[in-house]
Amino acid sequence: MLRYTLMRLGIFVGCLVVVWGLVYSGVVPRGLGSSNGMWVVLLALVISAPISFVVLRGERDRAAQKIAPKVDRMRANVQANLKANQSQEDVADDAARAQGQPS
C-alpha cells in the first residue's frame, strides 16, 4: 500500500513540475489574481488522477489483494458483534415481557 501511495505521489509531483513549467513559460494561462499557486496544484491534480488510474492499475490490484482479507476479517467481527448485541437485546426484551413490562 505504501508503494502505491508513493508511486501516486510521484506521478502528482511530476505533473506539478510540468504544469508549473507550462504556467511559468506562459503556455498555460496563469490563475486570476493571487490564485496562481492553487491553479497550478489543481491543474496538476486533475491531470495526474487519470494518469494514475491507468498507469497504476496493476499496483492498485496488488494492494487490493493485500487489503481484502483484512476487510473480510473486520466484516466478520462486526457481524459477530451485531449478532451478540442482538441476542442480548432479545434476552432483555424477553425478561421485561416476563415481568409484565411493556417493551
Same domain for 67 and 24: no
Which residues, other chains included, contact 26 with Cβ-Cβ below 8 Å and sequence gap of 6+?
none
At 103 the pLDDT is 53
Same domain for 85 and 38: no
Cα–Cα dist 52/44, whole Å: 12
Same domain for 2 and 47: yes
Same domain for 40 and 71: no
Cell triple for residue 56? 497504476
Same domain for 50 and 6: yes
Q: Which of 51, 56, 50 is nearest to 5 (CA)?
A: 56
Contact 71, 16 (CB under 8 A): no
Give the pLDDT confidence of 91-103 residue by residue, as tens digits.
777 777 778 766 5
Confidence label for 46 from pLDDT (cuts 50, 70 and 90): very high
Q: How many domains does the chain have?
A: 2
Tell me the CA distances in angstroms from 53 to 31, 36, 56, 83, 95, one per residue in order: 27, 26, 6, 39, 56
Same domain for 43 and 63: no
At 58 the pLDDT is 92
